[in-house]
Amino acid sequence: MTDITLLMRVVEDDDTQALYEITDIYLEQIEEWIKPYKKEAKDDLEDFTQECALVISEHILTKAFLEKNDRINIIKTGAMQDLEAIYEELSYDLKEMCKNAIEELKRQSDSSKKTFEKMAAMVNVINEGAQRFKEEFYMEPTPDQLASYIGVTQDDIIEAMEASGYTITGIDFDLPEKI
């Protein structure tokens, strides 16, 4: 059975099995579509594949692909050439959706890495500041004292401590209980 016949079965017969078959056809193409990202992806390749699979499955199984450019009527009344054009458009659309999903994942990953790096740097500054304070004043600083000493807010210190799993040492204080 041709891929175009599957489109016709979806529109004319509301054939759920045809939707799954179309989805499977495109899921098989994911590996080819993510090839450009393999070198840079490394650890994220599985995430890229999964995200593409989700995007493709949702777009096809919800029949969202039929909403574009009056595709339902074209499939019902169009010539074979029109059906082939729709199938090519669908392929292009899904590939672009996959590409956009990967780019969004990359942005989110980059943002998470930057946030982690920033927080790790803050933890280091706090640890070093607490050590210097202790050496200078012969006591462990309170969060307020440390904040003033290193030029950050007490909230910055609390946030860094919570984010680091309380691995900051040399500070004399207990974190407030969370509400």
- pLDDT tens for 2-60 read 788 898 899 999 999 999 999 999 999 998 888 887 777 666 778 888 999 999 999 99
Per-residue CA distances from 41 to 31, 88, 102 (Å):
13, 27, 10
Q: Which of 13-17, 75-79, 102-106, 154-158 has the highest mean pLDDT?
A: 13-17
Cβ–Cβ < 8 Å for 10, 18: yes
Residue 168 resides in a domain: no
Number of domains in the chain: 2
Q: Residues 156, 72: one domain?
A: no
Task: Give residue 136's pLDDT.
Answer: 92
Residue 171 resides in a domain: no
CA angle 102–114–141, rounded 5-degree value = 155
Task: Give residue 41's pLDDT.
Answer: 63
Tokens of 124: 């280091």
Residue 176 resides in a domain: no
For residue 84, give its domain range. 3-111
DSSP string across 87-130: HHHHHHHHHHHHHHHHHHHHHHHHHHHHHHHHHHHHHHHHHHHH
Of 90, 111, 132, which one is at a domain's C-terminal end? 111
Q: Residues 92, 29: one domain?
A: yes
Residue 86 resides in a domain: yes
Q: Place 178 in a pLDDT band, splitting at 50, 70 and 90.
A: very low
Q: Residues 90, 126: one domain?
A: no
What's the CA gap between 156 and 162, in Å, rounded? Answer: 10
Residue 145 resides in a domain: yes
Cβ–Cβ < 8 Å for 95, 65: no
Task: Give residue 179's pLDDT.
Answer: 41
Q: What is the pTM of this model?
A: 0.64
The Cβ-side half-sphere exposure at 144, using a 13 Å CA radius, reads: 0
What's the CA gap between 49 and 20, in Å, rounded? Answer: 18
Closest by alpha carbon to 154, among 117, 179, 129?
129
If phi > 0 it is left, if psi is from -120 to 50 it is alpha, else beta; for residue 165 that is left
- pLDDT tens for 98-115 read 999 988 888 887 787 788
